[in-house]
Chains A and B, each alone.
Chain A
Amino acid sequence: MNITIRNAVKRFGDFTALHGLDLDIASGELLALLGPSGSGKTTLLRSIAGLEPLDGGQILFGDTDATQLSVQERRVGFVFQHYALFKHMTVLDNITFGLRMRPRKERPAAAEIRRRGLELLELVQLGGLDKRFPNQLSGGQRQRVALARALAIQPRVLLLDEPFGALDAKVRKDLRRWLRQLHRETGYTTVFVTHDQEEALELADRIVVMNRGHIEQIGSTDQVYDAPSTPFVFDFLGSPNVLPGEVREDGIYLAGAAAPIESPNGFPPGPVSVYARATDFRVVGEDAAAVSGRVLETQRTGVLLRLTVQLDGGGPVVEIEIPQPDPEIKVWLAGDVIRLRPAHFSLYREKPPLPASIAVDRSADYAAPGSRVRGQ
């Protein structure tokens, strides 16, 4: 079931949680809503389920206007962060709850309900635990029961609110892989909320990055990671180093460099901020486009060597990570002078603030190149 969200507005008193969002969710895709707390991602999810009525806008399930439907009529599978299993019911009764609550005419026979419940229990790999109570299960098992319970009603869409937030790191990793596989097998349109960029990148087909009730960027995991459309997205998907730079007629210059690192790619001249991740820097020899700095600190983290570098001429302190070089060839120590050049980077330029308006596309606040610039 494809879902269309048009101009969704939600307010809580004076606080506006959703500033008129537009979003198209394709049938069968696995979509992540990624953002910090307070970004409106959970509100959006609950609005799709009907648990938070919208103050404006529309949500369509296929061609049906879901805003006219009650929570019960929407038939969405919702999985809560803290499972929300019915404590007093067995695992099987939890899973079959949705079927048992159907009006008498549409309700399958008791034996059929039981058969479907056991089948779902097998699907979530908990066969044989049907008579247990939720408090006799581990966190990961509970979450899988919650998922089976949501799947039992054959939902139009599966919504997961921070599904792995309450689990420890190891279980979380296993469940992610398992959920990805389950999605491939069942093909349900799935939307999940997370504040964990790694989780979003690992699990989703597409990521919606949200910030303060706006959508910052919608794109595939590659697009969002490689070509963040705003500094916020760049920042949220990994801590960036920000270097001052300037676009001139003949290319993009880092502050203090004698040669451009890249041609302007149509970027209008003027000062810019160059965003680059720690792993995007290369240590170079004599390169006129590079900037020099002094190593403040080195730290070995497994295969990577992390350097903290103070750039010359009062430049910023940058953190870079380079593959640990052969120790016989080169080891950098605090105090060494090195020259750095970002191999991949993004350019952003803050535009003068736009007049206040509710439904602005935030990416328009920044003049960014269409795609991430790649150096040699």
Chain B
Amino acid sequence: MSALPADGGATPPTTPFAPLVQTNAAIGEPKLVRWTLIGISLVFLAVFLLLPLYAVFSQALEQGYKAYFAALVDSDALASIRLTLITAAIAVPLNTVFGVAAAWAIAKFQFRGKNFLITLIDLPFSVSPVIAGLIYILIFGSRGWLGPWVSEHGFKIMFAAPGIVLATVFVTFPFVARELIPLMQAQGADEEYAAMTLGARGWSTFWHVTLPNIRWGLLYGILLCNARAMGEFGAVSVVSGHIRGQTNTMPLQVEILYNDYQFVAAFAVASLLALLAFVTLGLKSFLEWRHGSELKALKGH
């Protein structure tokens, strides 16, 4: 800090050139503080994100590529991958349809109980996944409300694929709706009204006007929904029953293998989930970079 010149600041500043890095003295911090803060962040990032990621891949590849791929083509591992894909293939489309419908209703119409509906959509976010799983045990378990009726008719829901799908649907259903509601609210309904006055029916309006307007937000929501559907552990763990080769999804398979001290196999499966995370993150960044302006309404995520 230099004191003001005696003549009240009439002399021009002495710096002939603007500094290369513009720093605002009013909000800037001393160098020491800045580097300390940056250092802490970097160390934190390394310890809590990069190190575990490194650990996953180094453990998976500890005994070479052969062991790694052998672990992946193990029949139980393949079954878990298949179950995970099937679960996601059912849960994600269901929640996409539900999410679009809910967001459409909330953003484009005025009705009683709208806020209540929004709260309900958020429910899976606020409920522990374990409780989400238990809900289904209470409903479809052998002593649940519908359990006896279901088993009488020869269906198996709990400790089978249908239960896993149900739990996954529950846990992941806010993702698409949550992405679309602010987007559609920001866009308003004028374009839909315009399409209607031009003679377009409901379905045409949705297909030609609404969907193109929300496509990137929708893709973004589907991406997040899919990542969670494949990675969900808690709720699925409660309803799965952990039958090897039948009701284990990939996260459950990782846990089982780990508990069996099969570290290479456990981390090999885990590395697939980590790769999924990379792909999701990459696509997400791409969408934000390419279609950032259309996703602006999503700020806050």
A-side interface residues toward B, CB under 8 Å? 49-51, 71-72, 74-78, 80, 82, 84-88, 97-98, 101-102, 146, 149-150, 152-153
Binds A, one of B85-93, B134-142, B191-199: B191-199
Q: Which chain B residue has the least Cβ–Cβ distance from A70?
A: B196
Pull 28 A–B residue pairs with CB atoms less than 8 Å apart, ordered by A: A50-B197, A71-B193, A71-B196, A71-B197, A72-B196, A72-B197, A72-B200, A74-B197, A77-B197, A78-B193, A78-B194, A78-B197, A80-B193, A84-B191, A84-B194, A85-B194, A87-B191, A87-B213, A88-B213, A97-B195, A97-B200, A98-B198, A101-B195, A101-B200, A101-B204, A102-B199, A149-B194, A153-B198
Q: Which chain A residue has the least Cβ–Cβ distance from B202?
A: A72
Distance in Å: Cβ of B184 to nearest Cβ of chain A: 14
On chain A, the residues within 8 Å of B208 by CB distance are 86, 97, 101
Question: How far is A146 from B197 in the complex, measured between Cα atoms in Å?
Answer: 12
Q: Taking the complex as formed, is B290 at the interface, i.e. its CB lies under 8 A from any CB of chain A? A: no
Distance in Å: Cβ of A299 to nearest Cβ of chain B: 38
Q: Which of B191, B197, B209 contacts A76 (CB 8 A)?
A: B197
Contact: B199 with A101, CB < 8 Å?
A: yes
On chain B, the residues within 8 Å of A149 by CB distance are 194, 198
On chain A, the residues within 8 Å of B204 by CB distance are 101
Contact: B209 with A86, CB < 8 Å?
A: yes
Contact: B199 with A153, CB < 8 Å?
A: yes
Q: How large is the interface on B (under 10, 10 to 19, 20 to 34, 35 or more residues)?
A: 10 to 19
Contact: B197 with A86, CB < 8 Å?
A: no
Distance in Å: Cβ of B177 to nearest Cβ of chain A: 22
Distance in Å: Cβ of B207 to nearest Cβ of chain A: 11
Given A86-B209, A88-B213, A80 and B198 contact (CB-CB distance below 8 Å): no
Contact: A86 with B199, CB < 8 Å?
A: no
Contact: B198 with A97, CB < 8 Å?
A: yes
Q: Taking the complex as formed, is B296 at the interface, i.e. its CB lies under 8 A from any CB of chain A? A: no
B-side interface residues toward A, CB under 8 Å? 190-191, 193-201, 204, 208-209, 212-213
Question: How far is A86 from B200 in the complex, measured between Cα atoms in Å?
Answer: 13
Question: How far is A51 from B205 in the complex, measured between Cα atoms in Å?
Answer: 15
Contact: B193 with A101, CB < 8 Å?
A: no
Contacts A49-B197, A77-B197, A86-B209 supplied; 20 other A-B pairs, CB < 8 Å: A51-B196, A71-B196, A72-B199, A78-B193, A78-B194, A82-B190, A84-B191, A85-B191, A86-B195, A86-B208, A87-B191, A87-B213, A97-B198, A97-B200, A97-B208, A98-B198, A101-B195, A101-B201, A101-B208, A146-B194
On chain B, the residues within 8 Å of A85 by CB distance are 191, 194
On chain A, the residues within 8 Å of B201 by CB distance are 72, 101
Contact: A101 with B194, CB < 8 Å?
A: no
Distance in Å: Cβ of A321 to nearest Cβ of chain B: 41
Contact: B197 with A51, CB < 8 Å?
A: yes
On chain B, the residues within 8 Å of A87 by CB distance are 191, 213
Question: How far is A323 from B191 in the complex, measured between Cα atoms in Å?
Answer: 49
On chain A, the residues within 8 Å of B197 by CB distance are 49-51, 71-72, 74, 76-78, 150
Distance in Å: Cβ of A40 to nearest Cβ of chain B: 18
Distance in Å: Cβ of B73 to nearest Cβ of chain A: 44
On chain A, the residues within 8 Å of B194 by CB distance are 78, 80, 84-86, 146, 149
Q: Which chain A residue has the least Cβ–Cβ distance from B204?
A: A101
On chain A, the residues within 8 Å of B213 by CB distance are 87-88
Distance in Å: Cβ of A153 to nearest Cβ of chain B: 6
Question: How far is A78 from B198 in the complex, measured between Cα atoms in Å?
Answer: 8
Question: How far is A98 from B191 in the complex, measured between Cα atoms in Å?
Answer: 13
Question: How far is A214 from B197 in the complex, measured between Cα atoms in Å?
Answer: 26
Contact: A75 with B199, CB < 8 Å?
A: yes
Question: How far is A71 from B199 in the complex, measured between Cα atoms in Å?
Answer: 7
Question: How far is A146 from B194 in the complex, measured between Cα atoms in Å?
Answer: 9
Distance in Å: Cβ of A322 to nearest Cβ of chain B: 46
Question: How far is A164 from B67 in the complex, measured between Cα atoms in Å?
Answer: 71
Given A86-B209, A88-B213, A98 and B193 contact (CB-CB distance below 8 Å): no
Distance in Å: Cβ of A50 to nearest Cβ of chain B: 8
On chain B, the residues within 8 Å of A146 by CB distance are 194
Q: Which chain B residue has the least Cβ–Cβ distance from A87?
A: B213
On chain B, the residues within 8 Å of A75 by CB distance are 199
Of listed B195, B196, B198, B213, residue having the most chain A CB within 10 A: B198
On chain A, the residues within 8 Å of B212 by CB distance are 86, 88
Of listed A51, A150, A152, residue having the most chain B CB within 10 A: A51
